[in-house]
Amino acid sequence: MKRVFLTILLAAMAHPLSAQELLSRVETRKVDGNGLFKVDVSFAVGELLVRPADGRLYRVAMDYADVFDPTIRFDPAGRSLSIKLDGEGGLHGEDLEDLGQRLSLDLPRNVPLDLTLEFGALEADIDLGELMLRTGKIRAGASHTTVSFSGATRGVCERLDFEVGAAEFEALQLGNSGCREISLKGAVGEMTLDFSGERLASETRLFIKVGLGEVRLRIPEAVGILLNADRFLASVSRAGLVKQGSAFVSPGYDGAKAKLIIEVDAALGSVEIERFR
Amino acid sequence: MSHRNLLAPLGLVLALVIPATLPAQTAVAAAAPQVADQAVVTGTSSSVSAREASLTFFLSDGGQRVITLRDGAVLVNGEQIATYATDGDVEREWRRLVAWTATLSPDEAVAASRDWAVEGSFDGQDQAALRAITGQFAALTPDEVVTVAHGPPEHLEEALVAAAEAREAGRIARDEIARVRDVIRVNVRDRVRDNVRIAVGPEPHVSMVTPFGGLASGLLGLGGTFAALCAIAFGASFFAGKQIDVMADTVSTSFGRSFFVGLFAQPLILPALVAVLVGLTLTVIGILLVPVAIVAFAATLAAAVVGGYLAVARVAGSGLMQRLRGHHGTHPLGLLQSIAWGLAIVLAVWLPAILLGWLPVAGDALVWLAALVTWGLATTGFGAAVLTRGGVRTTFGRRFKPPELPAATMFEHPGPEISTGEWLSSKAR
């Protein structure tokens, strides 16, 4: 039995690793009309960069290993763009890390967007500032992800959802997003939500559901906070909040121009609130 | 025929013959193109690999024009329209154009393509290829007319060259990494092979030994196992005493059923684990919980087996206590005491194997026998754990009757059937 096992092991190890060739593809197109534009991105592994583009253009640039078969589907009539570079192409672990894959996506600045980004491993740097974001859904696997709003968005942002796996996740300048509802579902890892910015909605609802992760909330002092926490073994810091009924509120909550209503559902993780001027 | 009329056919002949026979130093963009139907461009796509470079123009009518240079052939929408010399000036300049247009808007890309001028020495084949390509460009119309510089700006050209060099360096580095890995793999494989050869070379004498090794170490191991199980039982008596009693009831009243349930449940353990893992891998977050699920599954399985084994020991121990003292143990430590006695009994099956394990054939047989008995008892306990859902469900343990109650009282007032746990609880009260 031992010999059989070793034979199988040696046969598996003897499989040669061939070097992968990187291919490049760049697509630039115009998005006409004023209707909603749906963008759906699925990117398995590599570096992901998202930026606002000029006017009504979108631009997709990807470097990918030849074992992958990416698809870019633009439907002008249906007003949708689907980008897929997923599957592991038979590669694993260190081979995936060495690939040097990269997807750079420039989104049209002047078109209302429903954006869905789903990606697996490695790094993601996503800047959604100055876009006309209506809804955003970002699902990150095991990665280091930064989502930022470098400038104030335009139009009405209804909802922004983050689903984070085992990741180091930062959402910065959410105060520029203007989104009315923001949700964060996190499994494990460190997650930071920073609410600095100039366009925080008059009333923003924030839903946090966390398993084992640590969530850090950076909220300006001018923003009123109402906190409801449903926790099992998790710790939730209250940062000067005062108990009012079953909730905790910040002093001067009723008179605050921008209010953040936070619902926390935490099992074993921690939620920490940090205020700043 | 006038002088002008004589020159016209001569010029036509020269125009047809000279390009086909002599290499020309020329800028080919100005040559008469093979013009295709006009179409407005709404988007572009560039793709580059070692084998080909391709430029796609998306058209306003929903169509597209894909111009590809691959392995010496110029393809338009997959159909060959010309050929060129590979690794020559045409291919180099084409790749440069493709890389440049990737940085431009669609309108700029059309302008850059239409202004494409290639300088160099070209034979007839390459000239025809360039004419075919520029003919395709001539048929393109931008959505908005824009101007663009002739060729990429200097810094962009430098960047393109640097990017090409970096890509080549990356490719070489990846090849080197792959080569080093292969060397390491081969070395590891050879070493493993050598070790295997050394290990299996002299055929060792195969002899069955007890799991506890020699006599002293065997006895120590058995004592350690007894102590460890007693420690677990001590903790379990506080936190799950009732559950162990329910399982013990089930073992004592449904021994055969428990054994067969345990027997049939064992082959289902792995499929159950696989089903859980497959279910989790359907979602990204689920994948991340796979390690947690594996640990939780293993812990649950271990708890079921150990708990079941303690329940079997409880049955054996309470029977012994009944025989020796006439009761099951009425004081608070009765449960623990009976489990300790029971463990001593069920582990005693290993004593003959340890003491007589040195015997050539009988020793092996005793080890197998002890292992078989232990497996049977563990299987029965595991089955009881499954039947009672970890000691929660009492359906199979209801027939247990406290044996110390006077028979006459039972005869006159049968009373309800209760589990040992309920009985002990009432005693404690």
Helix, strand, coil share of chain B (percent; to 5): 65, 10, 25
C-alpha span between A220 and B135 (Å, rounded)? 61
Kindly determine whether residue B174 and residue A3, on different chains, have CB atoms separated by under 8 Å: no
Instruction: For residue A71, tell me if it sits in a domain.
Output: yes
Question: pLDDT by residue (tens digit) across B80-122?
Answer: 999 998 888 888 889 888 888 888 888 889 998 988 887 777 8
Find out whether A231 and A266 touch, Cβ atoms under 8 Å: yes
Predicted local distance difference test score (pLDDT) of residue B29 = 46
What is residue B358's predicted lDDT score, i.e. its pLDDT?
72
What pLDDT, on a 0 to 100 scale, did the predictor assign at position A34? 77
Count structural domains, chain A.
Answer: 1
Task: Supply the pLDDT for residue A216.
Answer: 92
**Does A56 lie at the interface with B, CB-CB under 8 angstroms?**
no
State the smallest CA–CA distance between residue A214 and chain B in angstroms.
16
Across the interface, do B106 and A29 touch by the CB < 8 Å criterion? yes
Residue A15 within any structural domain of the chain = no
Residues 6+ apart with CB under 8 A from B356: B362, B363, B366
> Are A25 and B42 inside 8 Å of each other by CB?
no
* Interface ipTM above 0.85: no
CATH number at residue A116: 2.160.20
pLDDT tens across B374-425, in order?
899 999 999 888 888 887 776 665 444 444 444 444 444 445 555 555 555 6
A19–B104 CB contact, under 8 Å: no
- Number of Cα atoms under 13 Å in the Cβ half of residue A187: 20
Model confidence, pTM? 0.56
B interface with A, Cβ–Cβ < 8 A, is 42-50, 56, 58, 62, 102, 104-106, 109, 143, 167, 170-171, 174-175, 177-178, 181-182, 185, 188-189, 192-193, 196, 200, 284-285, 287-289
Residue B47 has its nearest CB partner, among A16, A17, A25, at A25
Task: Find the closest chain A residue to B98 by CA distance.
Answer: A26
The verdict on a CB contact (< 8 Å) between A13 and B48 is: no
CB A274 within 8 A of CB A239: yes
The shortest C-alpha distance from B113 to chain A (Å) reads 15
Query: What pLDDT does B60 receive?
Result: 86
The pLDDT, as a whole number, for residue B319 is 80
Query: What residue of B is the nearest CA neighbor of A187?
Result: B285
Cα(B247)–Cα(B25) distance, integer angstroms:
96
Q: Are A6 and B192 within 8 A, CB to CB?
A: yes
Is residue A18 in a domain?
A: no
Q: Residue B45: its chain A contacts at CB < 8 A?
A: 25-28, 72
Phi, psi dihedral angles at B36 (to 5 degrees): -95, 180
Element (H, E) at B278: helix B269-280
| Nearest-CB residue to A17 (from B48, B167, B181) | B181
Joined tokens for residue A108: 């049209």
Mean pLDDT computed over B43-61: 89
pLDDT in tens, B332-382: 567 778 888 888 888 888 888 888 777 777 778 888 898 999 899 999 999
CB-CB contact of B235 with B371 (8 Å): no
B48/A23 touch (CB, cutoff 8 Å), yes or no: yes
Identify the domain containing residue A130 by its residue range: 23-276
Q: Do B288 and A166 touch (CB under 8 A)?
A: yes
- Check A163 against B104: CB less than 8 A apart: no
Indicate yes or no: CB of A165 within 8 angstroms of CB of B170.
no
Over the stretch A114-134, which tens digit does the pLDDT of each residue have? Answer: 999 998 867 899 999 999 999
Chain A residues within an 8 Å CB radius of B112: none
For residue A16, being part of any structural domain is answered with no
| Contact between chains at A28 and B43 (C-beta distance less than 8 A) | yes
pLDDT band at A11 (very low <50, low <70, confident <90, very high): very low
Cβ distance B192 to A6 under 8 Å? yes
With CA atoms as reference, the chain B residue closest to A76 would be: B62
Q: Which of B143, B288, B290 best tests the A interface by mutation, with the highest count of A CBs <10 A?
A: B288
A16 touches B at CB < 8 Å: yes
Mapping DSSP to helix (H, G, I), strand (E, B) and coil, where does residue B141 land?
strand
**Is A22 close to B200, i.e. CB distance below 8 A?**
no
Selected residue of B184, B203, B285 to mutate for chain A interface (largest A Cβ count, 10 A) = B285
CB atoms < 10 A from the CB of A209, how many? 18
**Chain B contact for A4 (CB, 8 A cutoff):** no
Looking at residue B1, its pLDDT comes to 40
Residue type, A190: E
Please tell me the distance from the alpha carbon of residue B348 to that of residue B273, in angstroms, as a whole number: 34
User: In chain B, whose CA is at the least distance from the CA of A18?
Assistant: B178
Q: What is the β-pairing status of strands A214-220 and A270-276?
A: parallel
Cβ atoms within 10 Å of B306's Cβ, excluding its own: 19
- Of residues A55 and B156, more confidence is placed in A55
Other residues' Cβ atoms within 10 Å of the Cβ of residue A250: 22
B124 token code pair = 């007839």
* Per-residue pLDDT tens digits for A177-231: 999 999 999 877 889 999 999 888 889 999 999 877 789 999 999 999 999 988 7
Is the pLDDT confidence value at B17 over 70? Answer: no
| Cβ <8 Å between A3 and B200 | yes
- Which residues in chain B have Cβ-Cβ distances shorter than 8 Å to A25? 45-48
Q: In the prediction, which pLDDT does A177 show?
A: 93
Which of B42, B45, B177 lies closest to A25 in CB terms? B45
Distance between alpha carbon A97 and the CA centroid of its chain, in Å?
20
Q: What is the mean pLDDT of chain B?
A: 75
Asked if the structure places residue A31 within a domain, the reply is yes
Q: Tens digit of pLDDT for each residue in B131-150?
A: 999 988 888 888 887 777 76
Confidence tier at B427 by pLDDT (50, 70, 90):
low
How many Å lie between the alpha carbon of A161 and the closest alpha carbon of chain B? 14
Q: How far apart are CA B199 and CA A271, in angstroms?
A: 55
Task: For residues A91 and A121, give the distance between their C-alpha atoms in angstroms, rounded to a whole number.
Answer: 13
Residue partners of B58: CB distance under 8 A and separation at least 6: A29, A74, B41, B42, B43, B44, B45, B64, B106
Facing B284 at nearest CB: one of A23, A24, A141 = A141
Instruction: Tell me how close the Cα of A104 comes to any Cα of chain B, in angstroms.
Output: 12
Residue A242 touches partner B, C-beta closer than 8 Å? no
Higher pLDDT, B40 or A269: B40
Residues in chain B closer than 8 A to A18 (CB atoms): 178
pLDDT band at A82 (very low <50, low <70, confident <90, very high): very high
- Contacting residues of B for A54, CB less than 8 Å apart: 105
Report if residue A193 sits inside a domain.
yes
Interface list for A 77-116 with B (CB within 8 A): 98, 100
pLDDT, mean over chain A: 84
Residue B303: CB atoms within 10 A of its CB come to 15
